[in-house]
Amino acid sequence: MIDIHCHILPGIDDGPSNMDKAVDMALAAVRSGTSRIIATPHFKNGVFEVSKEMVSVSVEMFTRVLEEKRIALAVLPGAEIRISPDSCTLLDRGELLSLAGSRYYLFELPDIFIKQGIIEVLRQLRQREVIPIIAHPERNRTIQRHPEMIPEFIYENALFQVTGKSLTGENGKLCFKIARDMVKEGQAHFVASDGHNIRHRPPCLDDAVKVVKKVGGYKAVSTIFEENPAKIEGRCLAGNVVTGRRVG
Ligand SMILES: [Fe+2]
């Protein structure tokens, strides 16, 4: 299994504060059935100063430690980028980091936003053949109030990543309902851990897989956990067709 959204790099953002804690997270991920993680530190969110170079150096160092300890986890570079009107300018300057070198980028919405502003950015991204994946919409306050925006954003070329803990009910009733509805409606293209630490936000997806199986059946499990992530990794020659619709 691949986890496309996880804060696992040590000392870079609000993930693990040191290498030992990062290794503990890696062990927990492997135990729960994850073999690959895209490391997605917060990026351009106005809090953490993270650059592409920092991510690539950190991924390299972490990989070396995992190899030394014989932990079977591949770590790939990525970022969780706060979407803004400047996103395309930053992209054009080469300052943004995609998921595992693909044309998929993970974007986080601000809690309060104006729909038309986001749609404008999504359209600009589409012109650049970028495929935006919006992180954890079920936890966003504006989307919680207006879940009808979800299909509108999908229409504008966005894909959605739901957080595992929302599906298991650990993020509260509202997140649980929206996340389950998204799986039922085929609007959850990815499920990721958004792991930050071992105790409260572990990098584990096994419980979420069970919920997806219950809510959407085997087809949803294979689309969400195998087919769609394979497209990010470029292992699917059929291209970027997600849930039966061309997205890029
Ligand atoms: Fe995150």
Per CATH, is 2-246 categorized as 3.20.20.140?
yes
Which residue has tokens 């135990």? Answer: 31
**Cα of 123 from ligand 1 centre, angstroms:** 23
Point out which residues pair with 246 in neighbouring strands: 241
Rounded to the nearest integer, the mean pLDDT of the chain is 93
Residue 145 has pLDDT above 80, yes or no: yes
- The average pLDDT across 2-13 equals 97
Point out which residues pair with 107 in neighbouring strands: 81, 134
pLDDT value for 45: 80
Kind plus residue range of the DSSP H or E element containing 160: strand 159-163
pLDDT digits (tens, 9 = 90+) for 40-68: 999 988 888 899 999 999 999 999 999 99
Residue 238 has pLDDT above 90, yes or no: no
Residue 240 has pLDDT above 80, yes or no: no
- The average pLDDT across 68-74 equals 97
Residue 248 has pLDDT above 90, yes or no: no
- Domain locations along the chain: 2-246
Q: Taking the CB of residue 142, how many other CB atoms lie within 10 A of it? A: 17
Band of pLDDT at residue 233, cut at 50, 70 and 90: confident
- The average pLDDT across 203-232 equals 95
**Cα of 5 from ligand 1 centre, angstroms:** 6
Burial zone of 126 (CB within 10 Å; 0-12 exposed, 13-18 middle, 19+ buried): middle
88 vs 123: CA distance, rounded Å: 10
**Cα of 35 from ligand 1 centre, angstroms:** 19
pLDDT value for 235: 52
Residue 191 has pLDDT above 50, yes or no: yes
**Cα of 33 from ligand 1 centre, angstroms:** 20
